[in-house]
Amino acid sequence: MQPADIGRLVTPGHPRVSPDGTRVAVVVTRVDLEADRYRSAVWLAPVDGSSPARPLTAGEDADANPAWSPDGTRLAFTRSSAGRHRLLVMPIGEPGEPVVLAERAEPLGGLAWSPDGSALAFASREARPTAGPYTRPVAPTAGAGATTASKPPRRIDRLFPKLDGEGWIVDRPRAVFVVGTDTPAPPRLLVAHRYDVGDPTWSPDGRTLAVCTVRDLPDADLTMVDALHLVDVDGPDAGVLRPLTGEVTTSLSHPSFSPDGARIAVLAEETAVVPSFGRVAVVPAAGGEPTVLTGGLDRQAAPSVGVRAPIWRGDDELVFAVEDHGTQPLMRVAAHGGAEPEAVLGGTRAVVGYDEAAGTLAVVSTSPTERPELSAVRDGVETRLTSFSAAFHRDVPVPAPEHLRAASPGGGEIDVWVLRPRTQAGDRVPVLLSVHGGPMTQYSTAWFDEFALWSGAGYAVVWCNPHGSTGDTEAFLRAIRPPESDDAPGTGWGGVDADDVLAALDAALAHDPSLDPGHVGILGGSYGGFMTTWLVSHTDRFAAACSERAANNLLSLEWGGSDAAGFFRFEFGGVTHLDRPDVYTRLSPTTYAADIHTPMLLLHADDDLRCPPDQADQLYLALRLLGREVEYWRVPDEGHELSRGGSPRHRVARAEIILDFFARHLGGAPPAV
């Protein structure tokens, strides 16, 4: 695979099954490298495979979020293009054109039909008026160089006022709207709140919506615990948030009503000790505390990819996804409790999207050797419905990686994978050791464009899920809380996790003697960038390193540099940067910059709000002053998600920069240009 092959990627996602279980709507996203944009269309596929999947929309813009009407005769979806975002509904099975129900300057999502099909609820950001004498617009200035208008000052009145990829959100929180589907009328703002409101779901009687958001309490921004609320759609109390749960430390998200309306399923995350797993729970619709159903499973039920509300099977069972040692299977659990969860769909695959209706389970899944495709499972029989990447895989095959279990210096074992390039037997192979971000996520058993690129350039790629990753137990996840934590103390970042990454490399080198220990590079982004910088400041065994969008100075991040500033105190067990700045300094790679002798490539995006560019600036300054070998690239108009969701041309350029750097230091193939 070459960087330009990014332009060939086609990805299905967000499957939704028709109410009668006979068809699946799925979003198909294509990379348009020439236009430097992504285009997506809604496709339809019969679940029996009797005819090929076909596009329902043209896909010239960004069509997404399909939602079936309760009777299956209409499909709602969103369309975005050049700052214009619309909600449309089109007939299915009979002639007709899409009808625009809403148009906004902000993206729309969370589409939910009312049970009688007469209305749609959706979520979108809405400007929040800010009180005060200084918020009126400033009059334009006459004369040369004057602007047509000036924006008023922005009042910051809570923590977490901005979000990577979204910008300032303190004055435009996510709200909930309702719009009729039969009679044209502007959408009605139903729920306006100081904090973001999650996707809505209708009660079976159509009178209320369930949503999750932070409770309207003083200093709620200091805890940021999402509670489950009910909202009347009409009547004198329409739009008023009514919390169903008390003031607890469990944060709730992704609600879905049982068919009988008596209970609401949610994903529940304990916030007394962070990080914690999301677990499937149920809450009485009349009010009460959540009952956790998957506590004995001890696995993450809120995957970082493809998370959604649990799906009800009648009133008695719920279907959900988990992260388990790199895989992402589907599970089921009794909604009344008292039984252990059971597997629904497993194997080495990663299920990254799923839906179920009328006995049909639709899944978008991927494996290490195959990109995502859509399948349907009915009566235990799985039918492949799409083959978007078949030609791509014929032209750009990727070998299957080997899965190893390596001993962790911290006890137990970790999952390790080794992907060899297509080289002649006996050749000494340079190695790239890749570290995932998070750290509360996992490398999954999914096809990954970066691993295909590095392997295609002649590198053996090694990756692992060290302590601090999901996919194992909650104790495994919490093992990297600092030793100063008030509960569940661990080693801190750069402790057992760093030992695990090196142990994974050692296991790969011992497993395959053709891997060249003298030509090993390391790379990673975000927390993976942290780990890259940390390791090269604590060992000289790497020949080169690429630290991307890294968290290099945890103290400056927590002082307000990051959009997540104020959150590290949760991850660090109540240890704040105000009381113990020494802890943050000790855990920051920049503290040890003088010990870095490895040639380094620094990559960062100009608009990154999660790990702002000063994280790379500080490290670059130190290395330049020390006279060390360092290259620094800044990518304009991109945020933290550059490598995954950045503009196609920037993604290609990034891959070329990385391949060129490692080719010069490790001897792999340079990018084809």
- Domain end (from 346, 373, 397): 397
Asked if residue 333 has pLDDT above 50, the reply is: yes
**Nearest-CA neighbor of 89 among 102, 73, 100?**
100
Q: What confidence tier does 426 reach under pLDDT thresholds 50, 70, 90?
A: low
- Numbers of helices and strands, H then E, in the chain: 11, 38
User: For the packed helices 527-536 and 496-511, what is the interaxial angle rounded to 10 degrees?
Assistant: 80
596 and 456 in a single domain? The answer is yes
Q: State residue 94's pLDDT score.
A: 85
pLDDT band at 672 (very low <50, low <70, confident <90, very high): confident
CATH number at residue 228: 2.120.10.30
CA distances from 303 to 201, 397, 652 (A): 20, 28, 27
Q: Which residues pair with 312 in a beta bridge?
A: 318
Percentage of the chain modeled with pLDDT above 70: 96
Counting residues of the chain whose pLDDT is more than 90, the rounded percentage is 91
Structural domain includes residue 633: yes
Would 311 be classed as within a structural domain? Answer: no
> 217 is in which domain, residue-wise?
69-128+158-243
Model confidence band, residue 247 (pLDDT cutoffs 50, 70, 90)? confident
The rounded distance, in Å, linking the Cα atoms of 104 and 294 is: 39
CA distance 191 to 241: 8
Whether residues 38 and 97 share a domain: the answer is no
Q: What is the mean pLDDT of residues 338-353?
A: 94
Note the pLDDT of residue 246: 80
Q: Which residues pair with 548 in a beta bridge?
A: 525, 603
Residues with Cβ within 8 Å of 118's Cβ and at least 6 positions away in sequence, in order, are: 180, 181, 182
Integer angstrom CA distances of residue 58 from 26, 75, 111, 648: 13, 15, 20, 20
Same domain? 389 vs 419: no
Per-residue pLDDT band for 137 (boundaries 50, 70, 90) equals very low
- 467 and 557, same structural domain? yes
pLDDT digit string, tens, across residues 508-547: 999 999 999 999 999 999 999 999 999 999 999 999 999 9
Calpha distance 375→353 (Å, rounded): 10
Confidence label for 147 from pLDDT (cuts 50, 70 and 90): low
The CATH number linked to 515 is 3.40.50.1820
Res. 139: pLDDT tops 50: no
Pairing outcome for strands 600-605 and 10-17: unpaired
* Local confidence band at 129 (pLDDT 50, 70, 90 cut-offs): confident
**Interval 623-642: pLDDT, tens:** 999 999 999 999 999 999 99
Do 199 and 77 fall within a single domain? yes
Q: Out of 81-85, 369-373, 649-653, which region has the weakest mean confidence (pLDDT)? A: 81-85
d(CA 399, CA 505): 19
Q: How many angstroms separate the first and last alpha carbons of the chain?
A: 13
Place of tokens 């809120």: 302
Helix (H, G, I), strand (E, B) or coil at 9: coil
Closest CA to 31 of 6, 4, 53, 56: 6
User: Residues 350-388: pLDDT tens digits?
Assistant: 999 999 999 999 999 999 999 999 999 999 999 999 999
Length of the chain: 673
Phi-psi region of 432 (alpha: psi -120 to 50; beta: other; left: phi over 0): beta
Residue 466 lies in a domain: yes
Is residue 260 domain-resident? no
**Domain shared by 381 and 409, yes or no:** no
What's the pLDDT at 451? 98
Give the mean pLDDT of 561-579: 95
Residues 360, 341 contacting (CB under 8 angstroms): no
Residue 142 has pLDDT above 50, yes or no: no
CB 315 within 8 A of CB 264: no
Q: Return the ∠ at Cα 482 (arms to 481 and 484), rounded to 5°.
A: 130
Own/partner pairs for 627-634, CB < 8 Å, 24+ apart? Answer: 628/596, 628/597, 628/600, 629/599, 629/600, 630/599, 630/600, 630/601, 630/602, 631/600, 631/601, 631/602, 631/661, 632/601, 632/602, 632/604, 633/601, 633/602, 633/603, 633/604, 633/657, 634/604, 634/605, 634/606
Report the pLDDT value the prediction gives residue 131, as an integer from 0 to 100. 55
pLDDT at residue 134 in the model: 47
User: How many other C-beta atoms lie within 10 A of the C-beta of residue 205?
Assistant: 10
pLDDT for 245 beyond 70 = yes
User: Which of 353, 382, 397 is where one domain is finished?
Assistant: 397
As a whole number, the mean pLDDT across the chain is 95
Region 490-497: what's the mean pLDDT?
98
In a domain, 282, yes or no: no
The whole-number average pLDDT for the span 246-260 is: 92
Of 397, 420, 443, which residue constitutes the final position of a domain? 397
**Hunting for tokens 């190695």 — which residue is that?**
431
The answer on 414 and 496 residing in a single domain is yes
Whether residue 392 is found in the same domain as residue 449: no
Structurally, the chain folds into a number of domains equal to 3
State both tokens at 502.
């090196």
502: in domain: yes
Q: What is the structure's pLDDT at 130? A: 64
Q: 487 in helix, strand or coil?
A: coil
Evaluated on CA atoms 447, 451, 455, 459, the torsion sign reads negative
- The answer to whether residues 467 and 505 belong to one domain is yes
- Per-residue confidence (pLDDT) for residue 422, from 0 to 100: 85
- Classify residue 289: in a domain, yes or no: no
Q: Are residues 224 and 120 in the same domain?
A: yes
State the average pLDDT over residues 123-134: 76
* Rounded Cα gap, residues 469 and 414, in angstroms: 10
Domain-embedded: residue 259 = no
Rounded CA separation 204/633 (Å) = 53
Tens of pLDDT, residue by residue over 274-314, are 999 999 999 999 999 999 999 999 999 999 999 999 999 99
Amino acid 425: pLDDT: 62
Are 373 and 416 contained in the same domain? no
User: Is residue 229 within 8 Å of residue 204, measured between CB atoms?
Assistant: no
**CA 124 – CA 85 distance, rounded (Å):** 10
Mark whether 389 and 490 lie in a shared domain. Answer: no
Over range 438-459, report the average pLDDT. Answer: 97
Helix (H) or strand (E) holding 661: helix 648-666
Q: Kindly state the average pLDDT of the residues 63-67.
A: 98
What confidence tier does 493 reach under pLDDT thresholds 50, 70, 90?
very high
